[in-house]
Every structure is written in C-alpha cells, then in structure tokens.
C-alpha cells in the first residue's frame, strides 16, 4: 500500500484506543505514530489527555502531535465484565472511540482492549447495518502458503440461523474482495465432512442456501484443512468458530510448551534449539493470526477493529493499516448495497 488512496486521495481518521492491550499506552502510541508515517491517516488518540500527551512527547512525536487527542477519563480492564463495565464507564477509551465512529468524527476505531467490551460497545452504540441480522467477528487466519483466509463468525453471536450464515458469507466475500484484494473470492462452509449433506440441520440448510446463492461456493471444508488455504472465506456460526479458533491456538501453544520442556531436559537438544531458534520463532509468528493485523466486526454500522491484547506496535499498526484499507475499499457501503442480495448481483462473481 502506498500513500495514495485507491478510491480517493483523502486522508482517513482512525481513532486508536491508547489504553487498550497489555502494552498500553506506549504500544498503541508507537503503533499510531508508525501508521501515520505509512498510510494516509490522521490518528485520533483516545485516552486520558495528560497521559496520552506525555506518552506522545516521550516517544518524540513533536508538539502539537500528529492527529488529535480525544480525552477519555476511564479505562475498561481486561477482567471487567464487558457490558457492565461499558455502562459504568461511559467515558472509557472504548466507549469514547466507538462514539467517535458513531458521530462520524472517526472513520474507524482500532483497539487492543477487551474483546467483550469492544464487541458490546459496537453492538450497543453502532448497531448493525440495515438488513444485517447480527454482526460477526472475523479475522484473517494463517495458511501454510502465507496467503491466509478470512474466517467468521469467531464468536460475536453464540446462536445463528441459516439466514445469518449466508449474510456472513456475503459480508466475508466483500471483505475478501475489497480489503484482501481477492477479486473472485471462494467461500466455504466449515463442516465435519466435505460431502454435501454433512453436519447438523443448521449446516445442511446453510449449505443448500449457499449452493443456490450467487457466491462462488466451494462447498464444505473440514477444520483440519483450514491451513491448506484452498479458499478465501470460511463461514461458521460463532459458537463453532470460537471453539475452532481456540482449539487451534491451544494446540499451537501446546506444541511450543512441550518442545520447550523437552529441549530444556537435554543439553545437546538445548544447543540445537539455540541454532533453530530463528526458525522456531519464524514458524510461531507465521501461525500467529495476530500478525495478520486484527479481528474485526462485520455487519456493524461502523468500522471496528480489535487487535490481540498482547499485540506489539507492529501488529497494532497493521491493524490500523487494515482499517485504512477498509475505508478505501468503502467496505460499509459495499456491504450495505449487497446484503439481502444473495443472488449475487453485487457479490463480485464474474466482476
């Protein structure tokens, strides 16, 4: 991506949650400064005025700093119950950031704070786009070939019906086209077997509907095949998606922990592991979906991006970059004009 926007030369205004994530406030500030150098973006720094200003100064941002500080006196902690915290802390950086989006003062909001609180704020304060039943949490997950694929819903809604899953597919296809630059996205349904007719009622009905839709539907994909990267978008209900995501994370972590424990027990292995360290870290990084930028909520009436709590500045800056790209691709507009039209007019098939 260069400094020149795709659709227009305008600059985008991205609100950044300075108080979100394990590394706050220094990591989000470093990320925002980095993003402002790389993309046509003005950062709205959301957090306690004094603290944000001090951090910007500390990082040599100059005075006045690039963008604008938007004061938010409160912070929602990772341990807070999301909805209750949101009600109690109406001046939290998350609530203020989402409010900026709602009031049109920011084009997008990026946070590494509590997923639950960001999701609750998005649902309560922005609502969904006209025609969208429920928002979905989406993320680009890694594949062996490095291309990655978009998976949704990863847990925004615990319940789903076929109508919702088809909407997820439509929104995912648009995201893949506009943001991931896949001109003709292939969409698959997560399932417990690859043949048609597999799965429970929800998945069998969704399969039928996707097969009749204007989407380029690749059929069912099993969770074991996700890393092979044969499709661009994988659709599932939020319960199943969240379990699958956490199962993959858990298995990956278990690999590393066992490897570490085994290596520590043997001197020769310790030496070898030292030599292999860059390889191991590289593999780990390639499998870490946080590296791909951020998770985001599709279907909300506003752009909201959620980075991993443990994100470093590079990961959050990537999240801001993805937000810019979503702005440039007019993601909300595209979803708005396509939802409910599963016959494919606006879905990019043969575009």
Say how far apart CA 143 and CA 130 lie, in whole Å: 33
203 binds a second copy (CB under 8 A): yes
Q: How far is the CB of 39 from a second copy (least distance, A)?
A: 29
Are the C-beta atoms of residues 136 and 152 closer than 8 Å to each other? yes
Are the C-beta atoms of residues 290 and 140 closer than 8 Å to each other? no
The contact pattern for a second copy, residues 142-161, with x = CB under 8 A and - = no contact, is x-x----------x--xx--
> For residue 64, is the peptide bond before it cis, meaning its omega torsion is within 30 degrees of 0?
yes
Residues 258-297 that bind a second copy (CB under 8 A): 258-259, 261-263, 266, 268-269, 271-276, 278-280, 282-283, 286-287
How would you classify the pairing of strands 108-111 and 12-17?
A: parallel
Encoded tokens for 170: 């439509």
Are the C-beta atoms of residues 77 and 94 closer than 8 Å to each other? no
54 binds a second copy (CB under 8 A): no
165 binds a second copy (CB under 8 A): no
Identify which range of 10-18, 132-140, 255-263, 299-307 contacts a second copy by CB under 8 A: 255-263
Say how far apart CA 267 and CA 35 lie, in whole Å: 43
219 binds a second copy (CB under 8 A): no
Identify which range of 6-14, 30-38, 39-47, 248-256 contacts a second copy by CB under 8 A: 248-256
How would you classify the pairing of strands 233-235 and 68-71?
A: unpaired
Say how far apart CA 292 and CA 202 lie, in whole Å: 30
Q: Which residues contribute to the site for a second copy (CB under 8 A)?
A: 142, 144, 155, 158-159, 190, 192, 198-201, 203, 222-227, 236-240, 242-255, 257-259, 261-263, 266, 268-269, 271-276, 278-280, 282-283, 286-287
């Amino acid at each position: 991506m260069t400094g020149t926007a795709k659709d227009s030369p305008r600059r985008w205004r991205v609100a950044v949650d300075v108080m979100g994530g394990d590394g706050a406030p220094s990591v989000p500030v470093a990320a925002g400064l980095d993003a402002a150098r790389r993309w046509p973006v003005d950062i709205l720094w959301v957090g306690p005025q004094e603290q944000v200003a001090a951090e910007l100064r500390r990082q040599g941002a100059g005075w006045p700093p690039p963008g604008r500080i938007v004061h938010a006196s409160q912070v929602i902690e990772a341990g807070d119950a999301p909805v209750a915290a949101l009600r109690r802390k109406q001046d939290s950086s998350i609530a203020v950031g989402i409010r900026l989006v709602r009031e049109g003062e920011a084009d997008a909001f990026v946070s590494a704070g509590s997923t639950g609180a960001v999701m609750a704020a998005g649902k309560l304060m922005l609502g969904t786009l006209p025609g969208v039943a429920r928002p979905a949490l989406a993320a680009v997950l890694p594949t062996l070939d490095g291309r990655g694929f978009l998976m949704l819903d990863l847990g925004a809604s615990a319940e789903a019906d076929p109508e919702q899953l088809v909407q997820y597919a439509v929104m995912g296809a648009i995201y893949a086209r506009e943001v991931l630059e896949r001109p003709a996205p292939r969409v698959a349904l997560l399932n417990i077997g690859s043949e048609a007719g597999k799965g429970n009622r929800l998945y069998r009905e969704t399969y039928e509907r996707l097969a009749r839709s204007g989407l380029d539907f690749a059929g069912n994909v099993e969770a074991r095949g996700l890393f092979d990267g044969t499709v661009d978008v994988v659709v599932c209900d939020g319960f199943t998606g969240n379990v699958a995501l956490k199962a993959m994370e858990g298995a990956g972590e278990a690999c590393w922990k066992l490897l570490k424990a085994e290596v520590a027990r043997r001197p020769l292995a310790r030496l070898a592991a030292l030599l292999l360290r860059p390889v191991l870290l590289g593999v780990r990084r390639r499998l870490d979906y946080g590296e791909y930028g951020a998770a985001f909520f599709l279907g909300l009436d506003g752009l909201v991006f959620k980075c991993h709590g443990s994100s470093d500045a590079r990961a959050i800056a990537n999240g801001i970059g993805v937000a810019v790209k979503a702005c440039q691709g007019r993601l909300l507009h595209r979803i708005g004009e396509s939802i409910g039209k599963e016959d494919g007019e606006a879905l990019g098939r043969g575009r």
